[in-house]
Amino acid sequence: MGVLDGTATPGAARFRIAPLVRAQGYGVGRLADAPVDNLRRSIVMWRPGKRLVAWNVAHDLGVSRVSPVDGVPWELIGGADAVVVVGEDLARGP
């Protein structure tokens, strides 16, 4: 699972969301900044053939936006089945 920070909130992906992803039983691979830093709502994107993984992760994190990979360079995703692009909604926490 990739976790990309799409916010200007320092450490949102690494220190807030990656631990939540791990706590749900998913492995976290790539941690990086997303191509944008002003994403309001988080999104989980899937690689071809990995839609179910993305839907499960989205459900576990309470993310309502799920789509195929779009606008995220493949090199940021690496070999992950899906990627969480953290928006301000997740960065702020519950």
Q: What is the pLDDT of residues 28-83, one digit of tens each?
A: 988 999 999 999 999 999 999 999 999 999 999 999 999 999 888 888 888 899 99
Here the CATH number for the domain that contains residue 64 is 3.30.70
Q: How many domains does the chain have?
A: 1
pLDDT score for 68 = 95
pLDDT, tens only, 1-38: 999 999 999 899 999 999 999 999 999 988 999 999 99
Q: Residue 58's domain spans which residues?
A: 2-92
What's the predicted TM-score (pTM) here? 0.93
Which among 44, 51, 39, 56 has a CA at the least distance from the CA of 91? 39
pLDDT exceeds 90 at position 94: no
Distance CA 53, CA 8 (A): 27
